[in-house]
Homo-oligomer: A and B are copies of this chain.
């Protein structure tokens, strides 16, 4: 068992950051942040090879697995590439590796003062298009829903949705939270849905949409199409949101701006 001798993590005079065992952030995260920092500072430039697992594990006095974990983290972040037998290299910036999430929607729909106004809820025979999307027979009964999402009494989104109608099971929408759509955003109450596919497109408001959304016809808007499947792999819901462009911007970032998120707690980096 290792003794607790006073071993300085860095030599006196060396300003190189080391692993602080007393710190709250775990060593693998500290090391990952150190490397991120060095890459961001230009110590390692795109194309450069960064120290190997063994070098890192010796230099920072951690086990190989811990060093490896830090490297894996950078790998997942897309900051470096690993070539077996050759080394790990800093990746140059790549625009197409950026990703954006729907968190902007959360702010739109999830905050305070949001409500839903139903425009119509009815059953109807499936059209060819609906039948194709939901995988039901033509003219089979489906549920059609049109609603407005309001924030502070002003409409920010128009939602159109078609649901399979199966009298044998409880109406799906009941479990999805028909009154609020909330379940899909806060992750509570969608226990019947297994997975879904989303598409983000751009469109201009039709006359009807413009009237409902209190915006100008012909102005720009996002169209977010969705289709959800249950655990039998059968489509359950198909529809789309229309959201005027003024209410929504998606953000993303590429490259490293220094130490970032961790598994728990913030990242307090020194110097």
Contact = CB atoms under 8 A, between A and B. Distances in A.
B252 A198 contact: yes
Contact of A101 (B46, B100, B190, B219): B100
A40 B250 CA distance: 29
- Most B CB contacts (10 A, CB to CB) among A45, A101, A183, A194 go to A194
Q: State how many copies of this chain the complex holds.
A: 2
A100 B103 contact: no
Interface size class of A (residues with CB under 8 A): 35 or more
A187 B94 contact: yes
Main SS of the interface on chain A? mixed
A185 interface: yes
A62 interface: no
A199 B101 CA distance: 11
B105 A95 contact: yes
Interface in A46-99: 46-47, 65, 76, 91-99
B98 A250 contact: no
B46 A190 contact: yes
Contact of A201 (B218, B249, B257): B249
A122 to B, nearest CB: 24
Nearest to A187: B94
